[in-house]
Amino acid sequence: MLRLIPLFCLTFLTSNLSFQDQVDNLLLNDLAYLENFYKELHQKPELSLYEKETSAKLAKEMKELGFEVTEQFGGYGIVCVMTNGKGPTVLYRTDMDGLPVIEKTELSYASSHSMSDMNGMENKTMHACGHDMHMTVWLGTARVMAATKDEWKGTLIFIGQPAEEIGAGAELMLDAGLYTKYPVPDYGVGLHASPDLPAGQVGFGKGYTMATAESVDIKIFGYGAHGASPHKSVDPVVLASLMVMELQTIVSRNVDPIESAVVTVGAIHGGTKHNIIPDEVTLQLTLRTFKEEVRTQLHKRIRQIANGIAISAGLPEDKFPEILIPNTATPPNYNNPDLVDRMVKSASKAISGSEVVHAAPQMVAEDFSRYGHTEDQVPTVLFWLGTVPDHRVVAAKNGESIPALHSPFYYPDPQPSIETGVKVVSQILVDLLSEQKG
């Protein structure tokens, strides 16, 4: 395995150079190792809440760099702290978990790993959301910051977060005392691999950039009967079908067209046999919103539609649908506009300004948002790191589709993605840490 050059050698290499030149020199020596590190992570993804080996691998690297490392913090989370004099405190997060997806990329380093999930089911696993890239950029940035301590003053808190894919990891780390056992950060930053931007670019958006995501279960009741005697039933399959269609009118006819919302029915479960009308059917929905008032409106209309259809079928009140909306929604990600401006300026120093682009809001969700949704009101920004290989960019121009995140065919272009990420995040951190607290 390739190994990194010892830190004292890297520090010597960076003397008397601009910060950008220092980063270039460090990457010249580190990039091969980081790419190999990335491929090792890619080959062995661990599922949410089971990131034991992944977190240990990151913790070992950070200890070697001189960070004070706490392991098993909020599950398999890790907290890595480096203090270098008086100054601001900046939190930088990576997530660590993979997905239960069978990889179909045919890469030489494709994952063939499998493991059991929390339900005891065996799954093939894949880093189909780019968390392996997130971790590699995180480590590469830590290498830079440890080797360039003359350039900054303050405290770095690098966290490795578990269970992002199930929306639980950030809350686990905060509940474990991230903002009470460690300094409350002045800023929180993170990145996410983009399946749309070419490798070498980064994308920033202001304000709401990712949505609240929540799951809703609706259990629809009826009276079962023989399939040959539908008149003796109140058919919940028909009621479910009516409900699916009516739910589509919430966004099109109830939500202000200027606002954003999604109501998707992702699953219907009911019945056992061709000629049996069942007693009940279950719908599973995902809702996506930015604003709380829109979210509340969706909840209200779902209940009204569900109960209204039951009434129209002549069902008594004790047969009205059961609607379960857990209070576990991932909050929307809000990028602090002032911090975005500062980070865009930093990114434009690290790479060509033409490669720093605007990123439109998306209805996907990310629990990084929780780090800014506490009473401490930490300004946070999550930006997009371009990862799409050149050949796929060309193919897209010819009308071919580019694999999305969570696709078994998604993969980043390692070298330019790592290099761009390390340059941009390192510059952001140094610039944020260059201001002195009053």
- Active-site residue set: 95, 165
CA distance 438 to 22: 29
The 3-state DSSP class for residue 358 equals: strand
Closest to 181 in 3D by CA, of 73, 257, 265: 73
- Residue 178 identity (one-letter amino acid): L
Question: For 319, which DSSP code?
Answer: G
Burial of 403 (0-12, 13-18, 19+ CB in 10 A): middle
* CB of 6 closer than 8 Å to CB of 13: no
The interaxial angle of helices 131-147 and 52-64, nearest 10 deg, is 10
Sign of CA dihedral 406, 410, 414, 420: negative
Rounded to 5°, angle at Cα 289 from 284 and 294: 105
CA distance 412 to 403: 10
- Residue 402 CA to its chain's centroid (Å): 19
Say which residue the tokens 């065996």 belong to: 122
CA distance 224 to 236: 8
- Residue 124 identity (one-letter amino acid): K
End-to-end Cα separation, the chain, in angstroms: 46
> Hey, how many other C-beta atoms are within 10 angstroms of the C-beta on 371?
25
Is residue 137 within a helix (H) or strand (E), and if so which, with residue range? helix 131-147
CA distance 58 to 159: 10
Altogether, the residues listed in the chain come to a count of 438
The 3-state DSSP class for residue 76 equals: coil
Is residue 289 within a helix (H) or strand (E), and if so which, with residue range? strand 280-289
Sign of CA dihedral 234, 236, 237, 240: positive
CA distance 280 to 398: 47
